[in-house]
Amino acid sequence: MASLISHAAVPLALRLALGSEAVPGRLALAAVLCSALPDVDAVGYWAGIPYGHPLGHRGFSHSIVCALLVAGAACTLGDRLGARARAVFAVIGLATVSHGVLDAMTNGGLGVAFFSPFSNRRYFLPWRPLEVSPIGVSAFLSRWGVRVLGSEAKWIWLPLGVLASFGLAFRMVRGGPDARIDKCGE
């Protein structure tokens, strides 16, 4: 899997690119949480669910159907999240589905069951530049953890930073609401 830090980078970059009018703070926070939500299946390890089981790691919770269900459920919280239902659905849906996409870019595991519950077939993307992340904090404090963060910086953070910068620049040129980061003294 990609690290939790990198899963959160997707909705944070989306907020920077689109601005706080489109992605208010509460929606951004919910999207960050939903970007990590698919890893709830790790509980299955302790419950004795095998990795390759439909409810195992990278199974149903990493699927497109699950992301759509999470996004649909989040729509009921639109007022609390400070956005309209369509925006909530889009942002939460993208954040949640991005988890499986990033995991499918790693060089480890059995792949991602994108089409669960209709199929438990596991997929990787054809391009897999990400080092698979260790499970546990202590493993992150090793050479493996440093390699993981390096590959994620190169293949996730840098591209997302560029996309967010383009979105921010576009909003600033356009001059619409939320176009500036800060205007001190005004």
3 state SS of 36: helix
**Angle between the 64-75 and 85-103 helix axes, to the nearest 10 degrees?**
150
Share of the chain above pLDDT 70, in %: 89
| Averaged pLDDT for residues 108-123 | 96
Pick the closest to residue 140 from 20, 3, 42 (CA basis).
3
Tell me which amino acid residue 29 is. Answer: L
| Averaged pLDDT for residues 19-37 | 96
Decide if pLDDT at 13 tops 90: yes
| Averaged pLDDT for residues 140-158 | 88
Position with higher pLDDT, 110 vs 145: 110
Decide if pLDDT at 183 tops 70: no
Pick the closest to residue 52 from 108, 130, 121 (CA basis).
121
3 state SS of 130: strand
Decide if pLDDT at 176 tops 90: no
Residue at token pair 């790693």: 106
For the chain, what is the mean pLDDT?
90
Determine the Cα angle at 81 with ends 78 and 87, to 5°: 55
Q: Helix %, strand %, coil % for the chain, to 5?
A: 60, 0, 40
Query: According to the model, what pLDDT value does residue 186 have?
Result: 37
Please, which pLDDT band fits residue 94 given cuts at 50, 70 and 90? very high
Query: According to the model, what pLDDT value does residue 18 have?
Result: 95
Two structure tokens written together for 55: 């409810």
Please, which pLDDT band fits residue 137 given cuts at 50, 70 and 90? low
Two structure tokens written together for 174: 């356009």
